[in-house]
């Protein structure tokens, strides 16, 4: 039994680089994967295609993780499409320590 079977993972910045590698690895371990991207739709779709070609389940969702409204939509869309979120990997390169991204430390500000 794969270690992540029956789990859903959201991986931010999963269209390329380390995020893509994590998405593929999580899928190999049985997780359903949300491939988050900001601007690289083609790369995100290629990652999803590779996961589904291997028998996994994945979807691509666009969201700028430095924008609290986008993060809230990412959460809502992921749950609507895949039922739940068990794992969240913050991989995207975004300044979440200052500016509008700093609000992400308070989940109440996302609603």
Q: pTM here?
A: 0.83
Task: Show Cβ contacts of residue 3 under 8 Å, excluding neighbours closer than 6 positions.
Answer: 29, 30
Strands (E), 39-99: 58-62, 87-89
The tokens describing 75, both together, are 């959460």
For residue 27, pLDDT beyond 70: yes
Q: pLDDT digits over 44-94, tens only?
A: 999 999 999 999 999 999 999 989 999 999 999 999 999 999 999 999 875
- Average per-residue pLDDT for the chain: 90
Between residues 96 and 23, the one the model is more confident about: 23
Specify the pLDDT at position 95: 56
Specify the pLDDT at position 52: 98
pLDDT category, 101, cuts 50, 70, 90?
low
Residues 96/88, Cβ–Cβ less than 8 Å: no
Whole-number Å distance between alpha carbons of 8 and 24: 13
Q: Which helix (H) or strand (E) holds 105?
A: none
């Amino acid at each position: 039994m794969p270690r992540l079977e029956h789990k859903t993972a959201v991986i931010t910045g999963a269209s390329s680089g380390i995020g893509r590698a994590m998405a593929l690895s999580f899928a190999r371990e049985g997780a359903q994967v949300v491939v988050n991207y900001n601007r690289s739709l083609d790369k995100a779709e290629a990652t999803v295609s590779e996961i589904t070609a291997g028998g996994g389940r994945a979807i691509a969702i666009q969201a700028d993780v430095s924008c609290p409204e986008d993060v809230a939509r990412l959460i809502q869309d992921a749950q609507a499409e895949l039922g739940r979120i068990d794992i969240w990997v913050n991989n995207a390169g975004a300044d979440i320590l200052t500016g509008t991204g700093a609000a992400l430390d308070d989940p109440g500000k996302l609603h």
